[in-house]
Amino acid sequence: MLRRDGRPWIPVSGELHYSRVPRPEWERRLDLMRSGGVSVVSTYVPWIHHEARRGAVRFGGNLDLAAFVDLCRAGGFEVVLRIGPWVHGELRNGGFPDWVQAAPVRHRTDDPAYLDLVADWFGRIGGQVGGREDFLAIQVENELLDQPGHLVTLKRLAIGCGLTARLWTATAWDGAQLPAGEVLPVHSGYGDGFWIDAGAPWPGEFREQYFIRPPAADPFVTCELAGGMATAYHRRPRPSALDIAAIAHNAIAAGSVWQGYYMYAGGTNPPGTQESHASGCPNDVPPLGYDFHAPIGEAGLLCPTHAELRRQHAFLTAFAEHLIGAATTWPAEVPPDVTDTGVLREATRGPFRFISWHQPHVPLETHHGTVDIPPGTLARWPLGLEVGGVRIDRATATALTVLPGPVPTLVLCAHAGIPVELETLGATHRIEPGRTPHRLPGLDVLTLTPEDTGRAWVHSDGRLLLSAADLSWDATGRITAHAAAEPEVLIYNVDEFEPLPLTPVQLETPPTPATPDAQPTAPEAARTAEAAESRAAAKSEAEADEEAVVEIEVIPMRRPGPVPAIYGVHGTRQSAPAPAEFDARAAVYRLPLPPRPSDAILHIDWAGDVAELRIDGHPATDRFWDGSRLSARLPEAAQTATLHVLPLAPDNPVHLPADAQRRRSGVSGPLLAVDRVTLERRRTWRE
């Protein structure tokens, strides 16, 4: 059993890669992780980012590992280092620098020549963060299946370089052979993957994640539950928030004592280090964008997954003592295999009944029984739960947390389409969800509506909040709200919700940037650009400041060229267009940038094949189209922006999400559209 501050503890770890996030953004991302219920920060230490050329080692700026670790610890987070030296992470050579990859050694073995290279690298890591006794865990290697002795060697090397941790871990999926007693096996759970072929059906290994199944090990510890999914050129899965939440929910039901997510916060890759066919890797992934559809996206914005998961994490914090050590039991009838859509997927762990009735790709129908269960239901229902001396025999709403007070308040979340019933003290209570509690002798029961459930936040200090804004709080507990318009934040106080007083934080608005003269390829494009820029200049800075979201006119600068169905093939997978080919064929659009505060986000709704956003002529981020919006945080000094979009040929065999494929099928020729571009002026309010 893990304990923290003397209490039973189920860690929640989220992957955040310091080298993929601008250093000024580290603290904001950590605060958003904290408000999501994350208590442990996990990160790769990518060798390729630090020592691209042998001997030219960099640990400054975004690569300042020691500063990142210290910031995490100062913020109250435990830290897991995943030091490799092979880490994967969609990095070229699995994170080996090219000179290591080219070295005449037997990589990932006990070859003395290879170990000399690793010892030097581990020594550099140790020189930065060695001697610290506060690492919760250190992971050696990644996804190494058949070298248990090598894992022990790496552990000994790391210890010899001054790296110490309370736990040493190694990834245990795919039948990995691990050295007994030396490392803690950690597991994964993905419901889809970019690494299978474009035409492959939904594999059973992914489908089984949507069932509550016996764990692979005891204790059941995870380091890579899907926080989202990366996209490859040939296959572009886009899991929904409910897809991600179901996998995590099922892990808890099956007995997880550690919830670890990959990724929890997306980022932008240092140029030239992502895996690609050109470097011999099996997948082409975007050279820069590593959004991962994570709870915290590449631009630092929260996606709906954050809300779905933070409620689970509040549950784990509130009820850890009921869950740790409690065996999971299954009903007499269980689904026979991963194709079943009729048997209810449920289990009991401690005083909770877990129901999982959601999966992507193959729809589920309402399950009819004593209680009808609509598709999309993820339930953690009290079943013999004691709170404040009051026993809840049964409830048909999901437990969220317990608020302290002279009379404790059990907070439940109602499900759409399921009436709330609560049995206690020999009576059955029908509860209408709302914002006032149902009072029982010795216990208040507050049952949130499904709408309020989506806006619920449980503060680290136990406060219950409702807000549609992006909330975070620092290590002192002070709440910050990020939104385009003034947010409403409500706080529960004994028996009602009250507005939480917030103070706006003034952000500077830089002067209107000068826009360089356009160099269009056609006279009409030049006239269009001139007219649009004149209109933008005519709007006063004061007027622009009043608008939270500004529509950006999309000015065509160059028409696209013809696009082929296939740019190349590596093995069985399509290759992305080479940079020169992309530049030759992509349409180009100018995006005039209006006056803005320092916290401004550019949102691009588009369709096509590949997009790249350039700021002041330099690539800022990119995306393979999967039907989702591209969002980018604008640097304060940004003066110009151009969007480069490659059309998607109708016969290109890439795999797309269903909604994106429907849009593509509705177009007779190549798909190319820039539907809308907006600039969101994000503002900050503090408690």
**Can you read off the two tokens belonging to residue 682?**
């994000």
Mean pLDDT check: name the lowest of 3-17, 206-220, 259-273, 506-520. 506-520
pLDDT digits (tens, 9 = 90+) for 66-93: 999 999 999 999 999 999 999 999 999 9
Q: Considering the chain, what is the average pLDDT of its residues?
A: 93
The DSSP call for residue 280 is: T
User: Residue 301 in 3-state DSSP?
Assistant: coil
3-state secondary structure of 23: helix
Task: Please give the pLDDT value at position 5.
Answer: 87
Helix (H), strand (E) at residue 188: strand 184-189
Would you state the pLDDT for residue 368? 98
From CA 469, how far away is CA 23, in angstroms rounded?
24
Check if the beta carbon of residue 83 is closer than 8 Å to that of residue 45.
yes
pLDDT at 131 over 70: yes
pTM: 0.94
Are 532 and 520 a contacting pair, CB within 8 Å?
no
Q: Using 50, 70 and 90 to split pLDDT, how confident is the model at 308?
A: very high
Domains (range + CATH), the chain: 3-323 (3.20.20.80), 328-505 (no CATH), 525-686 (2.60.120)
476-489 residue pLDDT tens: 999 999 999 999 99
pLDDT of res. 44: 98
Q: Rounded to whole angstroms, how far apart are CA atoms 195 and 363?
A: 24
Say which residue the tokens 């507050």 belong to: 446
Please tell me the predicted confidence (pLDDT) of residue 597.
Answer: 78
Residue 576 structure tokens: 């992305």
> What residues are paired with 80 via a beta bridge?
42, 137
Residue 60 to residue 81: CA distance in whole angstroms:
18
* Residue given tokens 């269903």 in the structure block: 658
In tens, the pLDDT along 317-329 reads 999 999 999 999 9
672 forms bridges with which residues in the sheet?
A: none
Angle at 547 between CA 541 and CA 550, to 5 degrees: 90
Average pLDDT over residues 10-36: 98
Closest-CA residue to 479 (of 493, 459, 453): 459
Do the Cβ atoms of 408 and 444 come closer than 8 Å?
Answer: yes
CB 342 within 8 A of CB 278: no
Give dist(CA 202, CA 192) in Å, integer. Answer: 7
Give the pLDDT mean for 441-464. Answer: 97
Strands 135-140 and 167-171: parallel
Tokens 């006056």 belong to 595
Cβ neighbours of residue 679 closer than 8 Å, sequence gap 6 or more: 549, 550, 552, 593, 594, 596, 600, 601, 602, 603, 634
Neighbours of 342 (CB within 10 A): 10
- Measured CA to CA in angstroms, residue 614 lies from 211, 561, 589 at distances of 43, 19, 10
Query: How is residue 210 written in tokens?
Result: 């949507």
DSSP string covering 408-466 = -EEEEE--TT--EEEEETTEEEEE--SSSPEEETTEEEEEE-HHHHTTEEE-TTS-EEE
Residue 520 has pLDDT above 60, yes or no: no
Residues 6 or more apart in contact with residue 29 via CB below 8 angstroms: 16, 21, 265, 296, 300
The string of pLDDT tens digits covering residues 89-121 is 999 999 999 999 999 999 999 999 999 999 999
Contact 35, 473 (CB under 8 A): yes
Q: What is the mean pLDDT of residues 148-168?
A: 97
Instruction: Check whether 205 has a pLDDT greater than 80.
Output: yes
Q: Which helix (H) or strand (E) holds 160?
A: helix 148-160
DSSP, collapsed to helix, strand or coil, labels residue 379 as strand
Taking the alpha carbons of 520, 526, 528, 534 in that order, is the dihedral positive or negative?
Answer: positive
The whole-angstrom separation of Cα 301 and Cα 445 is 33
- The dihedral built from the CA positions of residue 26, 32, 38 and 39, taken in this order, carries a sign that is positive
Q: Is the CB of residue 622 less than 8 Å from the CB of residue 613? A: yes
Decide if 154 contacts 141 (C-beta within 8 A).
yes
More confident residue, 541 or 255: 255
- Tell me the C-alpha distance between 247 and 264, whole Å: 14
Q: What is the pLDDT of residues 284-299, one digit of tens each?
A: 999 999 999 999 999 9
Give the percent of the chain with pLDDT over 70.
94
Q: What percent of the chain has pLDDT over 90?
A: 90
Report how far residue 113's alpha carbon sits from residue 280's, in angstroms, rounded to the nearest whole number: 23
* Token representation of residue 83: 């030091």
pLDDT on residue 216: 78
Distance of CA 543 to the CA centre of its chain: 36
Peptide bond into 510 cis (omega under 30): no
**Is a pLDDT exceeding 80 seen at residue 133?**
no
Find, among 33, 576, 620, 577, the residue nearest to 289 by Cα.
620
Helices 112-129, 148-160: crossing angle, 10 deg rounding: 40
Q: Which of 163, 261, 178, 165 has its CA nearest to residue 221?
A: 261
pLDDT digits (tens, 9 = 90+) for 346-376: 999 999 999 999 999 999 999 999 999 999 9
User: Please, which pLDDT band fits residue 467 given cuts at 50, 70 and 90?
Assistant: very high
Average pLDDT over residues 130-144: 92
Contact assessment for residue 263 and residue 15, using Cβ atoms and an 8 Å cutoff: yes
Question: What's the CA gap between 660 and 458, in Å, rounded?
Answer: 35
Mean pLDDT in residue range 597-609: 94
Half-sphere exposure in the Cβ direction for 516 (13 Å, CA) = 12
What residues contact residue 72 under an 8 Å CB cut-off, 6+ apart? 30, 41, 79
